[in-house]
Amino acid sequence: MLFKLKNTLLLSVLLLGGLFWAAALAQGAAPDPWAPLAPGQPGEAGRRTPLVAAIEKARPAVVSVYVQAPGGPSPFARDPLTDEFFRRFFGDLSRTRPATSLGSGVIIDGSKGLVVTNAHVLGRASRATVTLADGREFPAELLGSDPAYDLAVLEVKSGPLPQVPLADSDSLMIGETVIAIGNPFGLSHSATVGIVSATGREVPLSGRSGVLKDLIQTDAAINPGNSGGPLLNIHGELVGLNTAIIRGDGLGFAIPSNQVRRVLVRLTRGETGLDLGLDLAESSRPQRGETGCLIISLLEGGPAAAGGLKKGDILKRLDNAAVDTLADYELILSSLDPGRPVAAEVNREGRPLTFTLAPRRLTAGEALALAESLFGLKVSEQKGRLILKGPPGSSPAARVGLREGDALLAWGDRRLAGTRDLAEAMLANRFKPSVQVTVQRGRTLYRATLTR
């Protein structure tokens, strides 16, 4: 009797479910096309797992990025095994595209045609060609690139395009399923699956000093050509941008989406010269867990002083992001909006405190004042040249031997023809600990490195 009752209840539930579905269809209510369906259903519907649904959702917004590089090497890492594989099945790819490097990208704003990829995919190129999964091909212009974060953004001028939403990478869980889509070895729009193996990894920048920080480590297969492609969560949202591998070990690394979001804000709108009116120093003992940046001075009347911060406070977080280094602070600050209040979390004598600050833009005059206070560079503009006034004896300029009457010609690779040029150079580099300048004394040119 109990057995019959259970069967009757089950049959009723199934009948009610069928009636509800039929009613929804009769009223024109279409189911979510990306929703994974029940495995018990027949045909494709029963095989559309959450992984399939996520890939179907994101794949149209993944692009192949082709960059012309005359005389450049093949973009594919070759060894005898892969050489034989590609000759057998695809011919010699280095001959079919001898002057083209290949990477991946992902559209993150379809209405504006914004494509994000790795800076190393583009190299020194200012334009590229992107190809969508449906075969459409568009020229793309470089809007901005930041090799320090290995990120670049391209603009495609076309009608509305598909896009991938950015998820909150801070909420990633170790062991969470992730999906990589890209063009490994030129095999376009290939998908691989793995898990988040770790977060917060550091990887050396290829071929130069410095490291990429706070990377996501995954065991999803990533190979040459995947660079710049998306790392997705199970909902088809971008959690990272694939950027590096350790060959032979099955380890891949991706830039977190929250870092991507902040860098892109700066790259798409340019340098804004935002400021909070404080000077910071990094922790000298991060290995002991002493994270955060020490506030060593505040501008009187500036946003930080007006908001309640004090000299000696340790800035831990700004706008809900960790501030462990000056690079962290610079990245967060550059992505803020002028006047929009942000939360600043500090440690004051062991007590956690939170303050609200409103960042503002630095004026050209304030930027010139920074050049003087940080490096001892006080100038006057004379006939299209910047002439140094006597630098203070304890300043970086005085320490390297600069003196009154020297003509300041360049800041790094940037030529200086007036005070406006110097102000813009200072705004773009004010967080760097040192700068190389070129000066002229009489008929002799000198180069000197000023260290704060």
Catalytic residue among 120, 257, 324, 335: 120
Based on the residue annotation, tell me whether 74 is a catalytic residue of this protein: no
At residue 199's C-alpha, the angle toward residues 218 and 193, to 5°, is 20
Q: Which residue stretches of 98-198 are H helix?
A: 119-122
Whole-number Å distance between alpha carbons of 117 and 254:
11
Under DSSP, is residue 80 helix (H, G, I), strand (E, B) or coil?
Answer: helix
Whole-number Å distance between alpha carbons of 414 and 422:
9
Catalytic residue among 101, 227, 257, 335: 227
Based on the residue annotation, tell me whether 189 is a catalytic residue of this protein: no
Catalytic residue among 101, 150, 279, 334: 150
Whole-number Å distance between alpha carbons of 327 and 331:
6
- In order of 17, 221, 253, 431, the CA distances from 217 in angstroms are 43, 11, 5, 29
Say how many residues make up the chain. Answer: 452
Q: Which two tokens stand for residue 177?
A: 């399923």
Q: Which two tokens stand for residue 419?
A: 């005070």
Under DSSP, is residue 376 helix (H, G, I), strand (E, B) or coil?
Answer: coil
Radius of gyration for the chain, computed over Cα atoms and rounded to the nearest angstrom: 27
Under DSSP, is residue 198 helix (H, G, I), strand (E, B) or coil?
Answer: strand
- In order of 101, 133, 157, the CA distances from 127 in angstroms are 12, 20, 12
DSSP string, 100-156: EEEEEEEEEETTTTEEEE-HHHHTT-SEEEEE-TTS-EEEEEEEEEETTTTEEEEEE
Q: Which two tokens stand for residue 51?
A: 């992984």
Whole-number Å distance between alpha carbons of 170 and 379:
45
For helices 257-269 and 326-334, the axis angle rounded to 10 degrees is: 60
Q: Which two tokens stand for residue 255?
A: 């830039």
Based on the residue annotation, tell me whether 150 is a catalytic residue of this protein: yes
Q: Which residues are catalytic?
A: 120, 150, 227
